[in-house]
Structures are given as C-alpha cells and as structure tokens.
Amino acid sequence: MMARARDVILMVAALMAAAPAPAGAQRLSEIFKKANPSVVVVLTREKEIGPAGDAQPVSVAGVGSGVLVSNDGKVLTAAHVVQTADAIVVELLTGEILRARVVSSEPAADMALLQLERAPTAPLAARLGDSDAVEVGDEVFVVGAPLGMGHTLTVGHVSARRGPDAGASGLSLAEFFQTDAAINVGDSGGPLFNMAGEVIGIVSHILSHSGGSEGLGFAVTSNVARQLMLEEKSFWSGLSGYMISGDLAQVLNLPDPGAGLMVQRIASGSPAERIGLRAGTVRATIGDDDLIVGGDIILAVQGVSLADPGGYSLVRRKVRELTPGEPIVVTVLRAGRTLDLVGTAER
C-alpha cells in the first residue's frame, strides 16, 4: 500500500512537471506584443548650464519614453522629459522617427502631451484604462527605455495608491500608483499597463538611494492623465521653476507676501521665451537643492499672486480660460526690480 501511494505521488509530480505553464504566464508575451508598438522612445535636446564657474550653456541630449494614444499622433509622456526641450523627436518600434512638439503640459502632475509632426505610417495607439478600477496587488508591466534601451519590459504589481506629493516635491495635482516593477532612468513617461494591455499609468519618478531600480517606482494614474492632458488640455509654458517661500524668499528679498517661482530653464520658441522671461544663469546649492539662480522670479500671473492660498490652481484656471490673442501679464522680480511682462495668450 505504501509503495502504491508513493507511485501515485510520483505520477502526479511527473504530470505537473510536464504540464504547460499557467495561462497568465503564456499570455504576458502576447499582451506585450500587442502593446509594445504603441510605446515610443522620446529623444530631446536642451540647453544646460555648465558647472559652477562655467556659465556658458551647452546643448545636451535627453531620453525618455512615451505612449501613442491616438492614431493622429498624440503621445503621452512625463513633463520633466520635455518641458524645457528645444527639440523633440520620437522613435517608434518600426524605426520611424518623427519630430514632435509639446501641446499640453502640467508640471505639477508631471504630465505632458506631444503632437507628432504627422500621423505615424503604421499607427497602433494604446487604450487608456480606468485607473479607478485598479486595486493594490494587481499585476502590471512597464515598457520603456531604461538607460536608453528601448522597448524593455519589466513586470510587477501595484504596491500602493498614493496621493499628491508622493515623495516628489511640487507634484500637487497628481495621483500615483506605486509599483515594484523595475524603473530606471529613461523609463520616465513610459506606460504602465494592466494585464488587459490598457494604459493605467504614466511613469513619473523613482525614490532610490542610488538612483537605480531597487527603489520605489511611481506612475501618474491614467485618469489624471486623461483629465489634465486630453480634457482640460493644460497650458504649456516651456519653463521649469522652483517654488520658493519662507526663509529662502527672505534671503532673496522677495516683496511681501514673500513667495514666487524661480525660473530655472526655458525652452527655445516657447511661450515663456516669447513673453520675455529669463532663465537662471548660475548653478547653486541651497540647502539640499541644486538650483539655477540669476533668472526671473515669477510673483504673479494675471494679478493672482503665487503666494495666495490656492494661487497656483487659480493661475492655471485663469490661463486655461484665456482665448488666443487675449493679453497675459506676468509679474516678475528681476535684478531686484519688480516689472510686468505682457504677452498674448496662445494655443
């Protein structure tokens, strides 16, 4: 009897060893094949201030990821990848390379929308899923360009759902998925897919002691991306800034009530450049932050002070409601003087 029982156990073990892999394991490769053509590599050029003592700007290359969300050439990516880029090109899985421009951006959610110069020859747009239906523990995968290696797949789970400012200063409008899927430099802007091949997030940033993928990864939820980029169409300024207040505002002699946005970089040909804003010129370390100082500090837009409670949100709304050709007034502190820069709204 003991021998017979042992034989049965051995037979079951042999059958299990010979059985095909679970359906889910087989399906991932097929899901990836269908989703991968919608993923793009985003290549940028922008001006960069050299090390301290070398104020001469140099042109540097950048790389990120994105996902095609319409067959006419709209691409979602991360704002920090393209916000101040002087030139942007997108490379598709087919090898086709197309120029792109930013049509909508919201740095406070790290989201941007690109428009390609024309529709891709063989477009295959991804579908945006409902991120509200995602649960902690759901299996997900990221396709991006870690360290420039395009169309790389990593797999993990939704580890948590986080609110604004999840480990990243200034992201006050974002909702995040935290994931343990490996994320590295170059993945920013790439899609976070569910197992139905739908985009449920756009990769934003990682928290890591080394800067590598052993840290925590965060992706802005697809519903936030849909709202800010496709429904509201947030205004692209072409500048990156650093919000200053408190002791630092006093050190920089900001007028009362003492808060403003220190302009760091400005993209060539952007609305920020056309209105006459000036970027920083010298690198400096203040506290734990590496900043570019010497540029304008934006105090108010359309008469709304950035120091007011809810000032940033009110400025967003006022600018979004402007019609093309309407005047727009930006109040800045420049070299110790307060002045108004006047331009016109554009789309």
Tell the CATH topology of 239-344: Pdz3 Domain (2.30.42)
Identical fold between 35-116 and 131-231: yes
Q: Which residues are catalytic?
A: 80, 110, 188
* Alpha carbons 190 and 110: distance in angstroms, whole number: 12
**pLDDT for the residue numbered 2:** 47
CA-closest candidate to residue 203, choices 73, 111, 103? 111
Instruction: Judge whether 274 and 261 are in contact, CB under 8 Å.
Output: no
User: Going residue by residue through the chain (347 aa), what tens digit of pLDDT does each one get?
Assistant: 445 555 544 444 444 444 454 544 558 999 999 999 999 999 999 988 876 555 577 889 999 999 999 999 999 999 999 999 999 999 999 999 999 999 999 999 999 999 999 999 998 999 999 999 999 999 999 999 999 999 999 999 999 999 886 666 567 889 999 999 999 999 999 999 999 999 999 999 988 766 665 668 999 999 999 999 999 989 999 999 999 988 888 888 898 888 999 999 999 999 999 999 999 999 988 877 889 999 999 999 999 999 998 898 899 989 988 998 999 999 999 999 999 999 998 86
* Alpha carbons 160 and 336: distance in angstroms, whole number: 45
CA-closest candidate to residue 117, choices 139, 96, 148? 96
Task: Convert 123-146 to b/e letters by CB count within 10 Å (16 or more is b).
Answer: bbbbebbebeebeeeeebbbbbbb
Instruction: Judge whether 93 and 60 are in contact, CB under 8 Å.
Output: no
What's the DSSP call for residue 128?
A: B
**pLDDT for the residue numbered 215:** 66
Q: Which CATH architecture has domain 35-116?
A: Beta Barrel (2.40)
Q: Which CATH architecture has domain 131-231?
A: Beta Barrel (2.40)
Cβ burial of 314 (10 Å; 0-12, 13-18, 19+) is middle
Q: Which amino acid is at 7?
A: D
Distances in whole angstroms, Cα of residue 222 to Cα of each of 100, 127, 192, 215: 22, 10, 9, 22
Kindly give the residue spans of alpha helices, DSSP state H, lying in the chain. 2-18, 23-35, 79-82, 222-225, 246-251, 271-275, 311-321
Instruction: Judge whether 113 and 107 are in contact, CB under 8 Å.
Output: no
**pLDDT for the residue numbered 210:** 63
Write phi, then psi, for 5 (nearest 5 degrees). -60, -40
* Alpha carbons 63 and 150: distance in angstroms, whole number: 10
Q: Read out DSSP for 28-62?
A: HHHHHHHHGGGEEEEEEEEEE--STT----EEEEE
| Domain segments of the chain as ranges | 35-116, 131-231, 239-344
